[in-house]
């Protein structure tokens, strides 16, 4: 099923991301936003050293593992990735875990936090 995200969706996504950044007290990052065609519904890319982050929302997508219709929950999902950024970076730098395992565990925590916040 093809999903399209228009300017109004992007505006809401951006507003929601900023809300959650404030709610979690994430203020040390320089934040940017992009709305363009990407291979996921949304992606958060960041650099732990420079503290630059870019929240991206696709314009359209056929399929994604993140099956999320609610734009606000999608924004929350991406902000939680940033919330865990330093945790994941530290584990990766210590070579304690396989990178795929770190990513899988991060997603598990993201989903748990969303459920907890959503209740």
3-state secondary structure 54-88: EEEECCEECCCCCCCCCHHHHHHHHHHHHHCHHHH
Instruction: Please check the confidence at residue 14 and state whether its pLDDT lies above 90.
Output: yes
Residue 75, both tokens: 């924004």
Band the pLDDT of 39: cuts 50, 70, 90.
confident
Beta bridge partners of 54: 32, 45
Angle at 89 between CA 88 and CA 95, to 5 degrees: 90
* Total residue count of the chain as it appears in this document: 119
Q: How confident is the model at residue 106 (pLDDT cuts 50, 70, 90)?
A: confident
Residue 107 has a pLDDT of 79
Residues 71 and 58: their CA atoms lie apart, in Å, by: 12
SS3 content of the chain, % helix, strand, coil (to 5): 50, 20, 30
Residue 94, H or E segment: helix 85-94
pTM of the model: 0.79
46-100 tens-digit pLDDT: 998 999 999 999 998 776 555 567 899 999 999 999 988 877 777 777 776 566 7
């Amino acid at each position: 099923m093809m999903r399209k995200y228009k300017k109004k969706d992007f505006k809401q996504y951006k507003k929601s991301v900023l809300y959650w950044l404030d709610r979690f007290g994430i203020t040390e990052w320089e934040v940017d936003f992009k709305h363009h065609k990407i291979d996921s519904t949304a992606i958060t890319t960041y650099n732990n050293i420079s503290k630059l982050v870019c929240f991206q929302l696709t314009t359209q997508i056929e399929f994604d593992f993140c099956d999320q219709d609610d734009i606000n929950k999608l924004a929350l999902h991406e902000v939680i990735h940033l919330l865990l950024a330093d945790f994941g970076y530290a584990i990766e730098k210590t070579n304690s875990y396989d990178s795929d395992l770190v990513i899988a565990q991060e997603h598990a925590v993201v989903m748990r936090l969303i459920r907890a916040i959503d209740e």
